[in-house]
Amino acid sequence: MTVTETRPTAAGGSPPPNPAQRLTALPAKIAKSPLLARVLFPVFLFLVWELSLIAVEEIWPFAVDVLPTPSEVGAFMWDEFITDTLARKNLYETFFISLRRLMSGFAIAMVLGTAMGLAMGLSRATNAFCHDWTMAILAMPALAWALFNSIIFGFDDRGPILTVILAGIPFVIVNVREGVRNTPRELFDMARSFQVPQSKVIRHVLVPSLMPFMFAAARYCFSIGWKGLVIAEVFGGQDGAGWTIKFWYDAHRAHGVVGYAAFFVIFAILFERLVFEPISRRAFRWRPQLQTEVVEEAFGEHHEHYGEEETARR
Partner 1 sequence: MAEIRIKNLHKEFGVGSDKVVALEDVNLDITGHSFVSIVGPSGCGKSTLLNILTGIETPTNGTVEITSDGHVAAPGYVFQAARLLPWRTVTDNLMFVQEDRSDDTKKRCQRYLEMVQLGDKGDKFPGELSGGMQQRVGIARAFSIEPDVLFMDEPFSHLDAITARALRRELHHMWDETKKMVVFVTHDVGEAVELSNRILVFAKGGRLEDDIQIDLPFPRDPADDEVAVAKAHVLRKFEELDLLAS
Site residues (vs partner 1, CB under 8 A)? 186-187, 189-196, 200, 204-205, 208-209, 211, 285-289
Of 175, 273, 168, nearest to 225 (Cα)?
A: 168
User: Least separation, in Å, of the C-beta of 120 and partner 1?
Assistant: 24
Of 106, 74, 53, 58, nearest to 228 (Cα)?
A: 106
User: Least separation, in Å, of the C-beta of 201 and partner 1?
Assistant: 9
The nearer residue to partner 1, 200 or 305, going by C-beta atoms, is: 200
**33/56 Cα distance (integer angstroms):** 35
> What is the identity of the amino acid at 252?
H
User: Least separation, in Å, of the C-beta of 215 and partner 1?
Assistant: 13
The nearer residue to partner 1, 100 or 203, going by C-beta atoms, is: 203
The nearer residue to partner 1, 189 or 309, going by C-beta atoms, is: 189
The nearer residue to partner 1, 107 or 205, going by C-beta atoms, is: 205
Of 44, 52, 45, 39, nearest to 262 (Cα)?
A: 45
The nearer residue to partner 1, 99 or 196, going by C-beta atoms, is: 196
10 Å Cβ neighbour count for 16? 9
User: Least separation, in Å, of the C-beta of 186 and partner 1?
Assistant: 6
CB-CB contact of 306 with 130 (8 Å): no
User: Least separation, in Å, of the C-beta of 77 and partner 1?
Assistant: 42
The nearer residue to partner 1, 186 or 250, going by C-beta atoms, is: 186
φ/ψ bin of 291: left (φ > 0), alpha (ψ from -120 to 50), beta (otherwise): beta
CA 91, 97, 98, 99 dihedral sign is positive
User: Least separation, in Å, of the C-beta of 210 and partner 1?
Assistant: 11
| Cα 100 from chain centre | 17
**227/65 Cα distance (integer angstroms):** 30
